[in-house]
Structure 1
Amino acid sequence: MPGLRGPSDYSQEPPRHPCLRINAKEPFNAEPPRSALVSSYVTHVDFFYKRNHGPIPIVDDLERYSVSITGLIDNPKELFMKDIMNLPKYNVTATLQCAGNRRTAMSKTRKVKGVGWDVAALGNAVWGGAKLADVLELVGIPKCTNATPSGGKHVEFVSIDKCKEENGGPYKASIPLCQATNPEDDVLLAYEMNGEPLNRDHGYPLRGIVPGIIGARSVKWLDSINIIAEECQGFFMQKDYKMFPPSVNWDNIIWSTRRPQMDFPVQCAICSLEDMNVVKHGKITIKGYAVSGGGRGIERVDVSIDGGKTWVEASRYQKTGIPYTADESSDKWAWVLFEAKADIPQTAEIVAKAVDTAANVQPENVENIWNLRGILNTSWHRVHVRVGHSNM
């Protein structure tokens, strides 16, 4: 593509913050310390997890960069950045979460394949850009459309990013046309993150943002947008990011028996404590995040200091000092931060679980949701702490 290219090696990678925990170097996959997540409602770009499948693309000439919109439409178009930036700009606060978040804990039950993420393969940002519904109107697709006259029912995002899973071809994914054309679903072609132009790790100059579903569908470094009849047939839609039962292994898996994962379940994690922390005697503060897919709010977060025998309800907030309510005043696509205080006995298993507004609750045990790709570990989050003795 003019103005944007995908390098074939890793010699021109962007700089990254030294505090990141690197889970894979090439391609670069890293997450921040879990404590960084609860330091701010909006995640700083440096501390936003990095999920990549190949070398980071490079923009050589922003003025020449364009996105083609083709497929089952009558009026294909090539859009330059100025065309997209001339459309009304929207800011959408949304949490992106890798489907493999908390995979490491799942792998302790049985081996899984994938990047070994802890609890910080997610982040919350303010994304700025044009609504995809407005962009698709430029090629003659009205808002809230289920199908084009030519039979297009899905919108496929294709990246300039080249990855080995596609045999050197581009990363790609799709969403239903009805979602893409519904302004209420807030799907963006984003060019800003937290009020600044996207950086290279996060999709500069243009990416898709699809709130409420797994991050794998928010394709970075857009090359083209295709209107297609069936869902994308790319590797990451058809042979990855699908939820299989614990009985399925690599010998009996049949990928076509499961749909691509889109929505993500209710999730929470404790971030103010690492596992096996030594804490001072007295009250401690337990902080973390809770989030659910599909725009569902968080009804409550329950915290236990005795492994789940007894519970207290944590306070919830998005804006500091303002109690959270799951209504029109909240950011429906964004996480909720929680906080509880407790006196810790000599040793404790601290547990957190969230309930969303549809009364979905996290499962108690990871064994029941184990799957061979290690995705969607939403079991109760547990940390073990003990009280240390002062030397004073």
Structure 2
Amino acid sequence: LDPSSWRLRVDGLVERVLELSLEELRSRFAHHELVATLQCAGNRRAGFLAVRDIPGEAPWGPGAIGTAVWTGARLADVLAAAGIQENAEHVAFAGADVSEEADPPQAFGASVPRHKATAGEVVLAWSMNREPLPTVHGAPVRLVVPGYIGARSVKWLERITAQAEPSDSFFQAETYRLLPAEADPDAIVPGEGVALGAVAVNADILSPGEGTTVAPGPLGVSGYALAGDDRRIVRVDVSIDEGRTWRQADLRDQQSPWSWRLWEAEVDVAVGTTEIVARAWDSAAAAQPESAAHLWNPKGYVNNAWARISVSPDRSAARGDRTTSPGRRDTA
């Protein structure tokens, strides 16, 4: 999209329809910066494959997630300028990208409830990590909805519509839905299943990697944890005996209320294959469930089961500093 000719239309149940250029958006509204983590609804989908295959879906590991510094205008300010009406219970968004997955093909779309849209953390971002927003991440402007699945943070944003009902977009009414295990994803009707919004509490282990050979003795383990919407990560537990006993990980300071929380722990491993397990708790006292088998669904969404990796302690492995911290990843 050409930034000079790009326009954002704000319409629907508003008092004033707006047509904003990028320059108008930047000059008319206060700039807001926040650190936020975005997570794909299919993050950690690969953990479901040991339960049952999920044809046609990307086998994401723990990396379909990322944290960045976003700068832009608050959506709440733009909606206020348009005069959002009282009967507008939802705010819908449309991007420029057209998907052939829908029949007929349609632009990517989504919506969030009014209470989320008018919260101060939702941003129309033109900058990522204090640099111009890259094309691959949605330039010239994308939506950033902290605490919700990444699919609600529409890229290449072109239209905002205040409306009475949730979006009927293929990508909200049919695709990003949590279906029962026995459902046929190719035969669902619009509105079937549970619409995905706020992300569930989740955590994964980033270091050491699966199958790593390590020296016996103290071993540094590190990863990330994330809680959805306005909840916070308050604890991460690590176990090396299948959850019979746990030790609490050290939590790093959180960069913002909307970012992941990095954690570190040290465990003592003996010779032989050892499974390391981690689980997170959030401020609503919700914890990750134990088994992916209890969560399997035909689209492979919301795998927030305990994180598990296996390592192989071997006396021949070289010792070194094995407390490796996860770094920042650019979000999808």
* Deviation by residue 1:364-387 (Cα, 9 ceiling, x = unmatched): 001111111000000001000111
What RMSD, in angstroms, separates the aligned Cα atoms of the two structures? 1.7
Q: 1:155 aligns with which of 91, 94, 100?
A: 91
Partner of 1:51: none
Amino acid at match of 2:219: I
Shift of 1:303: 0.2
Conserved in 2, the CA contact under 8 Å of 1:127 and 1:194? yes
Paired residue for 2:300, among 360, 364, 374?
374
One-letter amino acid matched to 2:291: N
Instruction: Judge conservation of contact 1:266–1:378 (CA < 8 Å) in 2.
Output: yes
Q: CA deviation at 1:254?
A: 4.9
Q: Distance in 1 between matches of 2:232 and 2:173?
A: 29
**Which among 109, 115, 118 is matched to residue 178 of structure 1?**
115
Q: 1:270 matched to which residue of 2?
A: 205
Q: Distance in 1 between matches of 2:206 and 2:129?
A: 22
- The whole-number CA distance in structure 1 between the counterparts of 2:260 and 2:186 is 37
State whether residues 51 and 293 of structure 2, in contact with CA within 8 Å, keep that contact through their aligned partners in structure 1: yes
Aligned residue-pair number: 314
Counterpart contact for 2:180–2:193, Cα < 8 Å: no
Q: Deviations over 1:179-225 (max 9, x none)?
A: 21232xx1100111111111011111100001101000000001111
Q: Is the aligned partner of 1:222 residue 2:222?
A: no
Other-structure match for 1:128: 71
1:245–1:369 Cα contact (<8 Å) kept: no
- Structure 1 stretch displaced more, 361-370 or 330-339: 330-339
In 1: Cα distance, 2:192 partner to 2:106 partner: 25
Could you tell me how far apart the structure 1 residues matched to 2:187 and 2:58 are?
22
Distance in 1 between residues matched to 2:317 and 2:229, nearest whole Å: 50
Q: What is the aligned partner in structure 2 of residue 390 from structure 1?
A: 316
Superposed displacement of residue 108, structure 1: 1.8
| 1:227-376 pair list within 5 angstroms | 227-250=162-185, 253-318=188-253, 331-346=256-271, 347-376=273-302
* CA gap 1:352/1:117 in 2 versus in 1, 3 angstroms: same
Q: Say which SS state the counterpart of residue 382 (structure 1) adopts.
A: strand
Residue identity (%): 39
Give SS of 1:126's match.
Answer: strand
What's the offset of the Cα at 1:275? Answer: 1.4
Q: Secondary structure at the match of 2:293?
A: helix
Match of 1:52 in 2: none
Stretch moving more, 218-227 or 65-74: 65-74
Query: 1:137-165 deviations in whole A, cap 9, x for unaligned?
Result: 22123xxxxxx15x432211110011112
Structure 2 match to 1:90: 32
Greater relative CO (CA pairs within 8 A, separation 6+): 2
Instruction: Name the CA distance, whole Å, in 1 between partners of 2:132 and 2:317.
Output: 50
The DSSP-based 3-state class of the residue aligned with 2:101 is: helix
Q: 1:261 & 1:164 partners in 2: Cα distance?
A: 22
Deviations for 1:238-282, whole angstroms, at most 9, x for unmatched residues? 111111233434487455243411011100000012211111222
* Cα displacement (A) at 1:226: 1.4
Give the corresponding residue for 1:102: 44
Q: Are 2:43 and 2:302, in contact at CA under 8 Å, matched by a contact in 1?
A: yes
Q: Please identify, of 173-182 and 241-250, the stretch whose mean Cα deviation from structure 2 is larger.
A: 241-250
- Cα deviation code 1:37-93 (max 9, x no counterpart): xxxxxxxxxxxxxxxxxxxxxx3xx22211111122231110011121121111111
Distance change (3 Å), C-alpha of 1:176 and 1:251: closer
Conserved 8 A contact 2:174-2:192: no
Gaps of 5+ in 2: 319-332
Is the 8 Å Cα contact of residues 92 and 127 (structure 1) preserved in structure 2?
Answer: yes
Contact 1:246 1:368 in 2 (8 A): no
Supply the distance in 1 between the matched residues of 2:287 and 2:317 (Cα, whole angstroms): 42
Which one-letter code corresponds to 2:26 in the other structure?
M
Q: Secondary structure at the match of 1:165?
A: coil
